């Protein structure tokens, strides 16, 4: 399968991904220089398809079935090193899915993110945590927990609703307490004992949002703080194609709905700051690395059923996040960092957004994506 991708791409995976992302015909660099762009574009359309469509020509985000991850997780590759998945792991849809996600977004990441975003979340969570107590997490990925372990000697208590992620989180932070449970009913949190709770996309996938808010409020101590990163909708409906590869059906709320729930629960101060541009930048950086990831996969000989499953997961994720980024850019969706305190706080959030994320290879991103 991957060898077929290499053959169809003609050696210019980066160029084809950039054209696919921006909805343009692919024009080879050589042809463009000689003025043969129209003919080359026609040839490309006749021969090559985006990688996200190669595995199944009729596949669209709406038609893609939701992956069903399982609890068993095998060892996963680092970014840009698409290593073969063992036969045993290949039978485990969760392991293959995690392998594809970490290959696309980075080691320990199950979605686009950055060290800087993680740091801002944790800085806000620990800002007022001058009392003893562990820190709670919901929906955290391995990279976030690793950053926390390097920054604090407190024990992370993680409530995880994606079964496939439980073992993987334990591999990143062995001293973490990771408990499987529903996203809106974290069972591992003690009552009135946590100075802070950090969550990622808990509202986005929570069916019983009032129950989620109430459970977090009870878990926090008298001066506790809840810091969370969440996607909200700014239209009446959630774009379904933007979540075709999600772990579960999204249940997006609006910013006003979340703020009302927090205030009704008893949080005295609720503040938020948009991090939409930073999430978009992180997603585009993942795509900028994807061409090299596939090149490496071909070089390592990943093929057959294992390669097909791995590529299929990459394709689902690529299609889905392409649609999600466009929804974010168009204003249908928004990603915010929220801070909800049980005590009165003054002033805006002290978050330096200019420092949140700087792509490691800005040149690769500029080459692939329009910067207008």
The mean per-residue pLDDT over the stretch 346-355 comes to: 64
Spatial contact of 335 and 28, defined as CB atoms under 8 Å apart: no
- Average the pLDDT over each of 24-28, 34-38, 40-44, 306-310 and give the range with the smallest value: 40-44
> Other C-beta atoms within 10 Å of 101: how many?
23
> In whole angstroms, what is the distance from residue 330 CA to residue 287 CA?
19
pTM: 0.76
Grouping H, G, I as helix, E, B as strand and the rest as coil, residue 6 is: helix
Q: Would you put residue 82 in left (φ > 0), alpha (ψ -120 to 50) or beta? A: beta
Angle 276-299/93-105 helices, nearest 10 degrees? 110
Q: Which domain holds residue 312?
A: 1-372
The mean per-residue pLDDT over the stretch 307-333 comes to: 91
> Other C-beta atoms within 10 Å of 153: how many?
6
Model confidence at 355: pLDDT above 60: no
Share of residues in the chain with pLDDT > 90 (%): 55
Cα three-residue angle 98-108-241, rounded to 5 degrees: 50
> In whole angstroms, what is the distance from residue 318 CA to residue 51 CA?
9
- CA–chain centroid gap for 62, Å, is 19
Q: What pLDDT, on the 0 to 100 scale, is given for residue 60?
A: 39
Main-chain dihedrals φ then ψ at residue 231, nearest 5 degrees: -95, 130
Higher pLDDT, 52 or 105: 105
Q: What pLDDT, on the 0 to 100 scale, is given for residue 300?
A: 65
> In whole angstroms, what is the distance from residue 51 CA to residue 315 CA?
7
Say which DSSP state 159 is in: E
Domain count across the chain: 1
Model confidence at 270: pLDDT above 80: yes
Model confidence at 92: pLDDT above 50: yes
Model confidence at 258: pLDDT above 80: yes
Model confidence at 98: pLDDT above 80: yes
The closest of 230, 229, 239 to 332, measured between CA atoms, is 239
CB burial readout 21-51, b (16+ within 10 A) else e: beeeebbbeebeeeeeeeebbeebeeebbbb
Give residue 289's pLDDT band: very low, low, confident or very high (50, 70, 90).
Answer: confident
**β-bridge pairing 177-180 and 156-160:** parallel
CATH of the domain at 281: 3.40.50.150
Q: What pLDDT, on the 0 to 100 scale, is given for residue 62?
A: 40
Q: What pLDDT, on the 0 to 100 scale, is given for residue 39?
A: 39
What is the number of H-type helices and E-type strands within the chain?
16, 7
The mean per-residue pLDDT over the stretch 77-100 comes to: 55
- Mean per-residue pLDDT of the chain: 78
pLDDT tens string 53-86: 333 333 333 443 444 443 333 333 344 344 443 3
Q: What pLDDT, on the 0 to 100 scale, is given for residue 95?
A: 85
Q: What pLDDT, on the 0 to 100 scale, is given for residue 34?
A: 43
Q: What pLDDT, on the 0 to 100 scale, is given for residue 25?
A: 66
Please enumerate in sequence order all residues whose Cβ is within 8 A of that of 127, keeping only pairs 6 or more positions apart, or say none: 225
The mean per-residue pLDDT over the stretch 230-247 comes to: 93
Q: What pLDDT, on the 0 to 100 scale, is given for residue 174?
A: 92
Q: 3 vs 6, 9, 102, CA distance in Å?
A: 5, 10, 21
Higher pLDDT, 83 or 345: 345
Model confidence at 280: pLDDT above 60: yes
**β-bridge pairing 135-138 and 194-200:** parallel
Beta bridge partners of 199: 138, 228
The DSSP line for 177-236 is EEEE--TTS-SSPPTT-EEEEEEESHHHH-S-HHHHHHHHHHHEEEEEEEEEEEEEESSS
The mean per-residue pLDDT over the stretch 269-282 comes to: 95
Q: What pLDDT, on the 0 to 100 scale, is given for residue 40?
A: 36
Spatial contact of 99 and 86, defined as CB atoms under 8 Å apart: no
Model confidence at 214: pLDDT above 60: yes
Spatial contact of 90 and 312, defined as CB atoms under 8 Å apart: no
Cα three-residue angle 46-55-164, rounded to 5 degrees: 155
Q: What pLDDT, on the 0 to 100 scale, is given for residue 93?
A: 67
pLDDT tens string 137-195: 999 999 999 999 999 999 999 999 999 999 999 999 999 999 999 999 988 899 999 99
């Amino acid at each position: 399968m991957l060898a077929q991708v290499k053959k169809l791409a003609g050696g210019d995976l980066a160029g084809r991904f950039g054209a696919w992302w921006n909805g343009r015909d692919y024009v080879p660099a050589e042809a463009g220089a000689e003025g043969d762009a129209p003919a080359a574009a026609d040839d490309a359309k006749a021969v090559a398809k985006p990688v996200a469509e190669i595995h199944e020509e009729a596949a669209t985000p709406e038609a893609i079935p939701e992956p069903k991850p399982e609890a068993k997780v095998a060892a996963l590759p680092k970014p840009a090193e698409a290593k073969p998945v063992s036969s045993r792991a290949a039978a485990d849809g969760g392991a293959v899915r995690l392998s594809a996600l970490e290959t696309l977004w980075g080691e320990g990441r199950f979605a686009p993110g950055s060290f800087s975003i993680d740091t801002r979340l944790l800085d806000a969570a620990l800002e007022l945590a001058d009392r003893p107590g562990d820190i709670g997490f919901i929906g955290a990925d391995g990279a976030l927990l690793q950053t926390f372990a390097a920054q604090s000697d407190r024990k992370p208590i993680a409530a995880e609703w994606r079964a496939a992620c439980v073992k993987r989180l334990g591999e990143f932070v062995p001293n973490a307490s990771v408990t499987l449970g529903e996203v809106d009913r974290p069972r591992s949190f003690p009552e009135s004992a946590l100075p802070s709770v950090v969550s990622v996309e808990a509202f986005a996938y929570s069916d019983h949002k009032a129950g989620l808010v109430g459970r977090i409020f009870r878990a926090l101590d008298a001066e506790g703080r809840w810091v969370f990163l969440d996607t909200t909708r700014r239209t009446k409906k959630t774009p379904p194609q933007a979540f075709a590869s999600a772990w579960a059906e999204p249940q997006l709320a609006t910013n006003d709905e979340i703020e009302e729930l927090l205030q009704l629960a008893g949080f005295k101060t609720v503040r938020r700051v948009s991090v939409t541009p930073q999430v978009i930048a992180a997603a585009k950086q993942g795509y900028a690395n994807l061409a090299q990831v596939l090149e490496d996969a071909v070089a390592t000989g990943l093929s057959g059923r294992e390669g097909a499953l791995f590529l299929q997961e990459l394709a689902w994720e690529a299609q889905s996040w392409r649609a999600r980024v466009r929804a974010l850019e168009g204003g249908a969706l928004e990603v915010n960092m929220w801070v909800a305190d049980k005590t009165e706080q003054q002033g805006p959030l002290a978050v330096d957004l200019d420092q949140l994320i700087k792509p490691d290879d800005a040149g690769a991103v500029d080459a692939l994506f329009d910067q207008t």
